[in-house]
Amino acid sequence: MSEELIQQQGQSPRYVALIPAAGVGARMGANSPKQYLTIAGKSILQHTVNAFLNFPGISHTYVVVSEDDAVADTSLLAAERMTILRCGGATRRDSVRNGLAYLADKLDANDWVLVHDAARPGLTSALLQKLIDQVGSDAVGGLLALPVVDTVKRIQDGKVETVSREGLWLAQTPQMFRYALLCKALDQAEQVTDESSALELMGYSPVLVEGHACNLKVTLPADLMMAAQYLQRNK
C-alpha cells in the first residue's frame, strides 16, 4: 500500500454519488432512453436519485446527462443535494470521467465517489450502508456484486460448454472509489464497461460486497415489472 493511500485513510472523506445518465438504452426498444421511462408515476432516474437523496451519508448527487438532453429537467425534481451536469460523453467511461473533471475543485483526493447506473432504481439505504461499512476503510474501494448461483454455459465455435461458476460474481453498482485514484484509473483506461475494471487494470483488487436482486439494472422490458415490484416492497 502506497504512503499516499495510507495518508488518505487517516482523513475523514466525503461521499458523493455520480450517476452517468447519457445512455440511449437501445435494448429496451422504447421511444426514449430507459432512465426516463416511468414506474409508479416517477421516472426510473428519479427513483435512482431518490435512493441517494434519502441517505444522509451522501453529501451530494451529480447526474451526468448529454449536452442536448431535453428531458432531464422535467424528469427530475429539483433538490438541494442534486445537480444535473450536461457533460455526458459517447460512453459510460467518458460520461463518468467528464463528471469527475467537473468535481475537480469540489472534492479532495481521498473523497469517495459512488458511481451508480441510472437504470438501477431499486438501490436501498441498507445496501448503501453495507457498501460504506465494508469499503469505507479500504485504501482503494469496492462495489456491490452478486455471486453467480446458476450453472454457466458458454458457446464457443458452435459448441456449448459448462463453465465453472466458482469465484464468479455479477457486478452491480454503486462502485465506490477514491476520487483521485478513480480519475487516474479512467485516464489510463481507453474504454471499460465499469469503474472496477479500470482499477483492476492498474493492479488493484476492489472489494466485492454482496448486493441484492432488488438492485437490478433495467435493461429489457420485463425488467420494468420486476423493478416496480421491488420498489413497492421497499416503500
- pLDDT for 31: 61
pLDDT at 3 over 60: no
Average pLDDT over residues 174-187: 98
Residue whose C-alpha cell reads 461458476 in the numeric block = 165
Per-residue three-class SS string for 25-72: CHHHCCCCCHHHCEECCEEHHHHHHHHHHCCCCCCEEEEEECCCCCCH
Neighbours of 119 (CB within 10 A): 27
User: What whole-number distance in Å separates Cα of residue 62 and Cα of residue 202?
Assistant: 26
User: What whole-number distance in Å separates Cα of residue 120 and Cα of residue 225?
Assistant: 13
- pLDDT for 6: 41
- pLDDT for 191: 87
Average pLDDT over residues 93-107: 97
- pLDDT for 190: 84
Which of 5-9, 117-121, 208-212 is the least confident region?
A: 5-9
Share of the chain above pLDDT 70, in %: 92
pLDDT at 26 over 80: no
- Domains observed in the chain: 3-233 (3.90.550.10)
- pLDDT for 193: 93
- pLDDT for 10: 52
Average pLDDT over residues 58-81: 95
Closest listed residue to residue 220, CA positions, set 91, 28, 13, 44: 28
Which of 2-6, 87-91, 111-115, 154-158 is the least confident region?
A: 2-6
Average pLDDT over residues 202-207: 97
pLDDT at 4 over 70: no
The mean pLDDT value of the chain amounts to 92
Distance from CA of residue 224 to its chain's centroid?
18
* pTM over cut 0.95: no
pLDDT at 203 over 90: yes
Alpha helices of the chain — where are they, by DSSP H?
Answer: 3-9, 44-53, 72-75, 92-102, 125-135, 179-188, 195-201, 221-233
